[in-house]
Amino acid sequence: MELSGEVLEGLQLVGNSAHVSDKCFNPLISRVLKDCRDTDGPSEIALTGKPVPGLNAAVFKQAYAALYTLVLEAAKHDADRSNVSAVLEDCKFAPDRIEAFSKAFESAKPELRALLSNIGTQFRHVVDVDWRLDYFLKNNHLDKMNEPVYMITLKTEAGDQQGVKNIQFSCSIEQLQDMVGKLKDATKSMEKLAQST
């Protein structure tokens, strides 16, 4: 489980009792876990930055974002208590705070993992391709280019969504040849996989 520098900085803020007092710590953890389990996303309070009573609004936003990220990443990676504790120790959490967070996270983890498993990561399927060839004689930077450019439009659809989505890009002849070669390699790999099963 890798966390960005901003998240680690926010966690260090949470671990510092000068910024997040002991009386604010447990309500903050409860709010983050509640919002992570809410299928509608973060609460209005979290988005507007109205802090937990006794907590500075700027500190609340940074702490909330860091804890929210930690909870979702730890649930995604099925992190156990020792993994979470190691991250929190690195962020200078006191042992009682580590214990309180770990206990709350462990009780919420099964529900969080179930919610995360419902998030679709299905890739879109290419159903059609349109293309055209443009020939650039010159541009703003060069007087002469004399270069053909292919404009490709992939029409894609996902099984769980209605409608077709267009993905457009341009490429040179070399880039197009490279893409076609990679598609042929992928097709051969899929054929070999299908034959082996």
Q: Where are the domains of the chain?
A: 5-117, 122-173
pLDDT for res 35: 87
Number of residues in the chain: 197
At position 165, the amino acid (one-letter code) is K
pTM above 0.75, yes or no: no
With CA atoms as reference, report the closest residue to 132 among 105, 99, 170: 170
Three-state DSSP state, 125: strand
152, 168 Cβ separation under 8 angstroms: yes
- Angstrom distances, CA of residue 1 to CA of 32, 85, 169, 180: 19, 12, 34, 36
User: pLDDT tens across 15-41, in order?
Assistant: 988 888 888 899 999 989 988 888 666
70, 87 Cβ separation under 8 angstroms: yes
User: pLDDT tens across 146-187, in order?
Assistant: 788 899 999 998 766 677 889 999 998 899 999 999 999 999
